[in-house]
Amino acid sequence: MFYLVLALAYVNLLTVRAQSSPPSSAPSAQSSVGSAVGSAAPTSSGAVTSALPPPATTFSFSLQSTNPTAAPLSEIVSGAPLSATQPLASTASPGATPSSIPNAPPLPDPATLNPAAYPPLDRPPPVDSPEVQQWKQEVANSGITIPGFEPTVAGGCPANPGPVADASRCWWTCGGCTRESDVTNCPDQMTWGLTYDDGPANYTSNLLQYLDQANLKSTFFVVGSRVISFPRTLQLQYLTGHQIAVHTWSHPPLTTLSNDEIIAELGWSRKAIKDVLGVTPNMMRPPFGDIDDRVRAISVAMGLTPVLWTRISPLATFDTDDFNIAGGIASVQQVLHNWEDIVGNATTMNSGFIVLEHDLFQQSVEVATGYILPDALAHQPAFRIEPVISCLNKPLGDAYVETNDNATNPPIGGGAGHTTAVVTLASGAPGSASATGAASNTNSGVSFAPSPLAFVAAAGLLLVAFA
């Protein structure tokens, strides 16, 4: 049942993007004649403001294949009318277990979920609850030292010259520093660790339908607030073989938070997933990729391996920028241009890769199912497209505490009495990109926003759904 609530566009909900100057976008390493060719001026509509530098006047791209039922590019814009959402292919029965994970515990009954037992949706959770006190003790018992860095301030890299200059902080957002605990690539060439952030949401069902038809599986980094709103969608994702991982409770930039606030964000998202699925994920992705050694240490102490996305230079990452179509900051042509650059650079790497995409908005799902995924499936030589846990050559069960085989995925973090499993992969190992061009010509620094739903609210329309 869906409830539609109109909301005003408040200034404090507008996206703030603080970035350094972007590099010039290099042409893709691969050039081929495709079934779709685009060259159009980027759109710039919508209520969201940004500090982005003026975009290029045109973005060209060529695709090897597109979905015959894809929404026209001219309709994938900010403020587009809402298109139809596909109903879930099925609904899970309480007690069901996924066939892809041996010995998984039975699925809980979503009808017993009590939203009042959780913090307010899409707001930073309080730090004085009994649950947070328990998770703080878990971190204390882990034996992992939490660095004493002060939180960063809002405004990204330009507003934080001290943290940017402090190499010991290892702030991925500003400079791309990684540690051994970070997953940024897949080890095998031509392997794509498919990921989607910020759901589950209204259009996740459309994405799931396409993935099912194409026999593809993904990692979904889910926001705890959305888990409570869409528990049946999450159960279907899990039961059909997709990997579920933590993406915080309310989607803040984690380096700006206190230790207790970070613990609350991760803990409530982890708990929501466990309450809906019966299993505890052991991977997380920090919103906006905003992570430093303090956030890393807390994550690992809570049994959560940080997963980012591939970076080929301090300023260029494998970010399609699909999230920003809905807010009018990026055009679909720009996103597909970014995608073409990603593909060109990925084929020159001696490792696999991970790309940042989203399933929160209609536009990001439409560009994925209509254009990006069909193009990837038509690529030759073929990509191996799979969830992150699979691209690390681990069984799907290793993605959860309760089903992890410690023989293949030994735990490295977690408090006393709390068995955890954390996958580790050396930064960039075993390969790195040899290309020099920009993978995403708009992702040259930090991109902070208050909450994924802030984009919707800023446009004057807030969707709150319960499934």
Q: Which residues are designated catalytic?
A: 197, 358
Q: Give the closest residue to 123 by CA, choosing from 228, 47, 201, 273.
A: 228
> What does DSSP assign to residue 16?
B
In terms of DSSP H, where are the helices of 326-421?
332-346, 362-367, 373-378, 388-391
Tokens in use for 464? 């709150």
Q: Give the closest residue to 461 by CA, choosing from 15, 1, 8.
A: 8
- The residue length of the chain stands at 467
- Is the four-CA dihedral 122, 277, 196, 351 of positive or negative sign? positive
User: Rounded to 10 degrees, what is the CA torsion of 397, 196, 214, 383?
Assistant: -90
* Contact between residue 325 and residue 9 where contact means Cβ atoms under 8 Å apart: no
- 3-state SS class at 452: helix
> What does DSSP assign to residue 19?
B
* Contact between residue 335 and residue 321 where contact means Cβ atoms under 8 Å apart: yes
What is the separation, in whole angstroms, between the first and last Cα of the chain? 6
The DSSP code sequence of 360-376 is SSHHHHHHIIIIIHHHH
* Contact between residue 311 and residue 184 where contact means Cβ atoms under 8 Å apart: yes
- Is the four-CA dihedral 105, 109, 110, 116 of positive or negative sign? negative
* Contact between residue 423 and residue 13 where contact means Cβ atoms under 8 Å apart: no
Q: Torsions phi, psi of 164, nearest 5?
A: -65, -40
- Give long-range contacts, CB 8 A cutoff, 24+ apart: 85-89: 85/202, 85/203, 85/205, 85/206, 86/205, 86/206, 86/208, 86/209, 87/205, 88/205, 88/208, 88/232, 88/233, 88/236, 88/467, 89/205, 89/208, 89/209, 89/212, 89/236
Angle ∠(78,82,86) on CA atoms, nearest 5 = 130
In terms of DSSP H, where are the helices of 278-372?
293-301, 332-346, 362-367
Asked if the peptide bond before residue 231 counts as cis, ω within 30 degrees of 0, the response is no
